[in-house]
Amino acid sequence: MQVQRWLPLEANPDVMNQFLRHLGMCPSWQFVDVYGMDAELLGLVPRPVCAVLLLFPVTEKYKLFRAEEEEKIKAEGQEVGASVYFMKQTISNACGTVGLIHAVANNTDKLSFDPGSAMQTFLEESQSMSPEERAKYLEKDERIRVTHECSAQEGQTEAPSIDEKVDLHFIAFVHLQDHLYELDGRKPFPVSHGRTSDETLLEDAIEVCKKFMQRDPDELRFTVVALSKA
C-alpha cells in the first residue's frame, strides 16, 4: 500500500495559527516565534506557554542518536503518564500536523474549540485509540488533510514539490503531571525529559532543544515556536 504524502508545513506561527483556527481551535492561545535561547530572548515570549515545537534537520548524527536513545529507553525503561496523548506518524511530511495535534491534544484543559469542529471531533474520536490507530484515523480525516494542504501553500517560502524529499522534522514538547515529554510521531513512544512545571516549561524544553543543536553544530536549520496565551 502506497504511503500518503502531504506537502510540509512551514515553521511559521501565522500559518500554524491559521491552520488551527480553520480546524476550530479558539484563538485564546497562539503560536509565537522564539527568537533565541538565552534568558533575555526567552523573556520576550508571552506567558504562560503550554507547548513548544521544534523544527530540526534529520541528519546522520541525529539518526545515530535516535537509535541509541531508543535502545537505552527499551533497556532501562521510563515512566510515561497514562494521560499523555501520543500518535504515530504514518503520512510522509505530516510531522507539522502531528506536532500541532500533539501540542493541542495534551492541553485540552486549557484550550477551547468550536463545537463540532474538525479538531474537536478528531480529539474526541481518537482519545481512546492507540498511537497506531490515531495515525490511521488521521490518514482518513479529509477535513484535516484539506486544511493541511491549504496551509502548506501559505507562508513566506514557496512550498516544495510533493515528491521532494524533505529532511526537516517537527516534534512537540508538553508538560503533563509535572513531567516534560517529547512527542515525535516517528519514535515508538514519548520520551520523558524529567520534571517541569507550567512556569518552567519553555526553559526546560529549550534545554532539550539546545542538545539537538549541539549534536549538529554545523547546522543552522533549527526553528522553535511556542504556544502561548494570547
The three three-digit cell numbers of residue 78, written as one number: 521510563
Q: For this structure, is 95 an active site residue?
A: yes
Buried b (16+ CB within 10 A) or exposed e, 117-130: bbbbbbbeebeeee
Q: How far apart are CA 230 and CA 160, in angstroms?
A: 31
List C-alpha distances in Å: 17 to 32, 112, 172, 192, 216: 9, 14, 15, 27, 29
Task: With beta carbons less than 8 A apart as the criterion, state whether 111 and 17 touch.
Answer: no
User: Any bridge partners for residue 113, and if so which?
Assistant: 25
- Taking residue 163's Cβ as centre, other Cβ atoms within 10 Å add up to 7
Task: With beta carbons less than 8 A apart as the criterion, state whether 50 and 227 touch.
Answer: yes
Task: With beta carbons less than 8 A apart as the criterion, state whether 151 and 9 touch.
Answer: yes
Q: For this structure, is 150 an active site residue?
A: no
H or E stretch at 53: strand 49-57
Among residues 22, 102, 148, 169, the one annotated as catalytic is 169
User: Which active-site residues does the annotation give?
Assistant: 95, 169
